Amino acid sequence: MRFIDEVQIEVRAGNGGKGCSSFRREKYVAKGGPDGGDGGRGGHVIFISCVSKNTLQELYLRKRLIAKNGQSGMGNDCHGKNGEDITIEVPIGTMIRDETGHLLCDLSLAGMRFTLAKGGDGGMGNARFSTSTNRAPRYSQPGIEGEQGHRFLELKLMADVGLVGLPNAGKSTLLARISNARPKIADYPFTTIKPKLGQVFMDDGDGFVVADIPGLIEGAHEGRGLGDRFLRHIERTAVLLHMVDSACEDGKSVADQIAEIETELKGYGKTLWNKPRLLVLNKVDALLDEELEAALKDANKTGLDVAVVSAVSGQGITPLLRHIYERVLADRDQRQLEARQAL
């Protein structure tokens, strides 16, 4: 399945059915009076956020969502049948915008519902217009047209922690080590070609979600490589893990690797650059003592907290997870406080 995180669709809710203009016709009953029923409501187009979805692939293939019209009213005060709603499940984190780019809804929680296009109301039948002075109305209402237009969908994955780094920094290996995710791991650049999510479980039964995006290269924020179009998926995270290959075979120093990723984060925008970041020196099991000392010296110049790990052997993983978990819990507490203050 392709990973689709942007799609434009056409939506068209159902039109309301027209009201009926009818008079009662029954043997031995004189002047039965009006009995035209109302038309049915047009079908809605509804989105529901669902944990089982992780891509907009279904909508990318479908493109058009057209709900059914409501049926017309009938005699004998019969109400027309409502048009059937279209209900679509989308991933958590789906953002919906109109033609102008205005944000209509952010489905950031599981089970959220949003009516993308509302069906038109059915018209009233002539029985509704009967009064003491007008006992035989011969008019009824037409149905109202349903909402329609184009909608733009953008998916931002919901994760607590985001992994960033150059290709072959060991992000996928770390994700496989600490979570239930099983990403493809190989010794060539861009093994990861789409974002991956992994659930990390802690000793208390709680945990957090980690997102791994394709490796960044120089000029990624301008469209080079794969990472630029996936950076949005770590905008919602509480902390970024900046992975650095401390035993880089290409000869890049730790300082150069750090600077390259920082340039891309700055270029993307303040959303990522201002996000809390933890520097992770990976593959330290392949370093001599003096090489590790030099790598730590370069890393400490950034002023960030530094973790020394080996995703392959597991060295330093447990302290790293505890540190990440503390940051995630602090971020959750802060968000809950801001939510209470907003009420």
Q: What is the pLDDT of residues 160-218, one digit of tens each?
A: 899 988 888 888 889 999 988 787 666 655 556 678 888 888 887 788 889 888 777 66
More confident residue, 212 or 336: 212
Q: pLDDT value at position 214?
A: 79
Compute the half-sphere exposure of residue 337: CA atoms within 13 Å on the CB side of its CA.
6
Tell me the mean pLDDT in the region 130-157.
91
Instruction: Indicate the DSSP class of residue 315.
Output: T
Interatomic CA distance for residues 107 and 48, integer angstroms: 8
Residue 337 phi/psi, 5° resolution? -65, -45
What pLDDT is stored for residue 222 in this prediction? 53
- Contact indicator for 254, 297 with CB cutoff of 8 Å: no
Is residue 224 over pLDDT 70?
no
CATH number of 6-155: 2.70.210.12
pLDDT score of 40 more than 80: yes
Least confident of 6-15, 246-255, 295-304: 246-255
- Pair 1, 55: CB distance under 8 Å: yes
Q: What is the pLDDT of residue 343?
A: 56
Burial class (CB in 10 A: 0-12, 13-18, 19+), 22: buried
Q: Does the pLDDT of residue 31 top 80, yes or no?
A: no
CATH of 161-342, one of 3.40.50.300, 3.40.50.2000, 3.20.20.150, 3.40.630.10: 3.40.50.300
Three-state DSSP at 165 gives strand
Domain locations in the chain as residue ranges: 6-155, 161-342
Q: State percent of the chain over pLDDT 90.
A: 39
CB 284 within 8 A of CB 313: no
**Average pLDDT value for residue range 83-96:** 93
Q: In this structure, how many other beta carbons lie within 10 angstroms of the beta carbon of residue 255? A: 16
Over 50: is that where the pLDDT of 130 sits?
A: yes
Domains 6-155 and 161-342 share a fold: no
pLDDT at 1: 47
Beta bridge partners of 196: 212
pLDDT at 189: 58
Query: Which structure tokens are listed for 333?
Result: 């507490």
Percent of the chain at pLDDT above 70? 91
Instruction: Report the alpha-carbon distance of residue 257 to residue 198 in Å, rounded.
Output: 25
pLDDT of 256-306, one tens digit each? 889 988 888 888 888 888 889 999 999 888 888 888 888 899 889 988 899
pLDDT for 136: 87
Residue for token digits 């819990």? 329
Specify whether the CB–CB gap between 305 and 277 falls below 8 A: no
Q: What is the DSSP letter of 319?
A: H
Tokens standing for residue 234: 């770590």
The per-residue pLDDT of the chain, averaged, comes to 86
* Cα 287 to Cα 338: distance, rounded to the nearest angstrom: 44
Report DSSP state, residue 302.
T
Q: How many helices (H) and strands (E) does the chain have?
A: 6, 14
CA gap 175, 152 in Å, rounded: 31
pLDDT of residue 342: 65
Position 230 scores a pLDDT of 76
Which tokens sit at 46?
């509804």
Q: Give me the DSSP letters along 238-267.
A: SEEEEEEETT-TT---HHHHHHHHHHHHHH
CA distance 306 to 302: 9
Cβ neighbour number for residue 290 with a 10 Å cutoff: 8
- Residue 222, Cβ neighbours under 10 Å: how many? 11
Is a pLDDT exceeding 50 seen at residue 88? Answer: yes
Specify whether the CB–CB gap between 175 and 309 falls below 8 A.
no
